[in-house]
Structure 1
Amino acid sequence: MKFGQVPDPSVIDFSIPETPEVTFDLLNHYKADQPMELYVGCAKWNKTDLKGFYPKGVKDELIYYSGQFNAIELNATFYNSPTPQQVETWKAKTPPGFRFFPKLPQTISHFGRLLNTDEKVRDFVDATVLFEEKLGMAFLQMHDNYKPKDFRRLEDFLHGFPKGYPLALEVRNQEWFSDPVVSKNLYTLLEETGVTNVLVDTAGRRDMMHMRLTTPVAFVRYVGANHPSDYARLENWVATLKKWKEAGLQKLFFFIHQNVELESPLLAAHFIRNLNRELGTDLHVPVRPEIQPGLFS
């Protein structure tokens, strides 16, 4: 994942912004006496991207991956909408409690730019609902050049999206965040439609750390910079998430990438250990693979 990559991560201020009061107000509004749901994973499960993660002799990567993590940010569906048969195959390979978070196809977001996409949306939804209880939340990621001038198009799309299907949105153009009026209109739309606002933590785009939740769900896409600071950044996230949990956060979806995918499982294991210690959760920590002793120690 190259979005937000910078030549020298050491010059970036990775501090996490203060959470706006409106986010705490929203969480308090939805606060309930129930355990927070927690899902942590990577973006892909293939061996090419997760180097050093799979023990020697693993024949099915998804089966092994889903035994170590309880979620996957399913980026494969961005390039091709899955068939119902593919979804059912993926679902059958994973254990109870596992969740898929498929990305809407680029034919909807990038090529179609939300216009005349009803049939494509229907095909995607009809296929991915077959994940049934293993469907976490799909997410719509817009192109960097999709700007607020097309707000009405986004508004029509979200209001017309199938009701009851869980959806998150990631907008990337800086104009969505630089103008307070534009931002407020966006967040109001997401609250009205029940769409979760995606947070992106990446080196070159700190404006996407808006810390503005629109549902009692935190959907965080964390991009490591292949730099020692990656670990401290994750520890800082745990401190913020602890506050959100106390305020009433109901669900956390946290996906870990790197600009060059080398140690995403290692970073995830570090993050999960800290979550379990600080939040009192009991999420499985990925085990050390046989082929690379010390990787997860």
Structure 2
Amino acid sequence: MWTHKSWQGRFLAHPLPPSERLRSYASWCDAVEGNTTFYATPARETVASWAGQTDPDFRFVVKIPKVVTHERRLTDVDEPLRIFLDAIEPLGPRAHALWIQLPGSFTPDDVPVLARFLRQLPDSHRYAVEVRDPVFFTDPRATRLLEGVLVAAHAEWVPFDTTAFFRSPPTSDAERDAWTKKPRMPLRSVALTDRPIVRYLGRDDTARTVEGWQRWIDVTAGWLREGRSPTVFVHTPDNADAPMLARRFHDDVRARVPELDALPEPIPAEPLTLF
């Protein structure tokens, strides 16, 4: 996501042609969730334009299409998976991880299907799996079962932390909408690989979002000290201030781990003037 309407004129220049929007976003943040690929595989030329707007060390966490994960549930997916992998090939090293988001109906009984699917994937990519059945988080046997499959495949478990969001009732239209749509996920802060990925959902109130991510400051700093390279995505229900919040999170982590590289200097959203 790099074309949010409320960012235009604030974080991104407006008007800005589509071929420049990602370049502007990449001056604010050095990673992005590739969520649109869940709904349709993009044209290879489109993906090439994404690569052309970003540096080789920019991180795309690209979601595998729903036809693979939700409609066919990881079975008989050779053709749509081949088409998807061919389409994202221009990203090269920017494809930080391919994100396998599974439906809430995916239960521990389905883990053997996931194991078979992961074994069939090419080793040219890293993979990260997001599950939404709370049993995986609350039942130690289910946790161990999934962790075993992921470790064997060198794949990461992506937690979606919604605990801060659901701590108190919603207070805005965007929060009320998210209240009915977002999953209530238990907290998990265990990394399985050297590239952990976290998705965090705060509130539209900045102070409450910052309060809720304090545990992730500690966890992320600890991972960095261990030599891991984490990627953290910060969301709010309206996402209006997400780029600014992401940079604030990075600054808070960097205060704990000073050797962490600074984020790039943002491209001005408004043209510079002489006065």
Q: Which has the higher contact order (CA 8 A, sep 6+)?
A: 1
How do 1:60-209 and structure 2 match up within 5 A? Answer: 60-202=20-162, 203-204=165-166, 207-209=185-187
C-alpha contact 2:60 2:96 (8 A) present in aligned 1: yes
SS at 2:5 equivalent: coil
CA contact (8 A) 1:146 1:173 kept: yes
- Partner of residue 5 from structure 2, selected from 34, 48, 51: 48
Q: Any idea what the Cα deviations from partners look like across 1:159-198, whole Å, max 9, x if unmatched? A: 1112231110000011222221111010011000100111
What SS does the corresponding residue of 1:139 show, helix, strand or coil? strand
Residues 192-232 of structure 1 show CA distances to partners (whole Å, capped at 9, x for unaligned) of: 01001112111346644222222122100111221331012
Distance 1:195 1:272 in 2: 24
Q: 1:243 aligns with which of 215, 222, 231?
A: 222
> Does the CA contact (< 8 Å) of 2:63 and 2:100 recur in 1?
yes
Confirm or deny: 8 A CA contact 2:59 2:96 kept in the other structure.
yes
How many Å apart are 1:106 and its aligned residue? 0.8
Scaled by the length of structure 2, what TM-score is found? Answer: 0.82
Q: Deviations over 1:48-80 (max 9, x none)?
A: 263532234433311211222211111111111
- Structure 1 residues 104, 49: CA separation in 2 closer, same or farther (over 3 Å shift)? farther
- Percent identity between matched residues is 26
Q: Which amino acid aligns with 2:16?
A: V
Give SS of 1:240's match.
helix
3-state SS of paired residue (1:267): helix
Going from structure 1 to structure 2, the CA distance change for 1:271 and 1:288 (only over 3 Å counts) comes to farther
Q: 2:273 is matched with which residue?
A: none
The unaligned stretches of length 5 or more in structure 2 are 167-182, 271-275
* CA-to-aligned-CA distance 1:231-270 (integer Å, 9 cap, x gap): 1223432122222222x24211111222222111121121
Two-structure CA RMSD over aligned residues (Å): 2.1
Q: Name the count of aligned residue pairs.
A: 247
Structure 1 segments unaligned to the other structure (5+ residues): 1-43, 292-297
* Whole-angstrom CA distance in 2 between matches of 1:222 and 1:264: 11
1:7-46 to 2 correspondences below 5 Å: 44-46=1-3
- TM-score (norm: length of structure 1): 0.77
Tell me, yes or no, if the aligned pair for 1:218 and 1:249 is still in contact at 8 Å: no
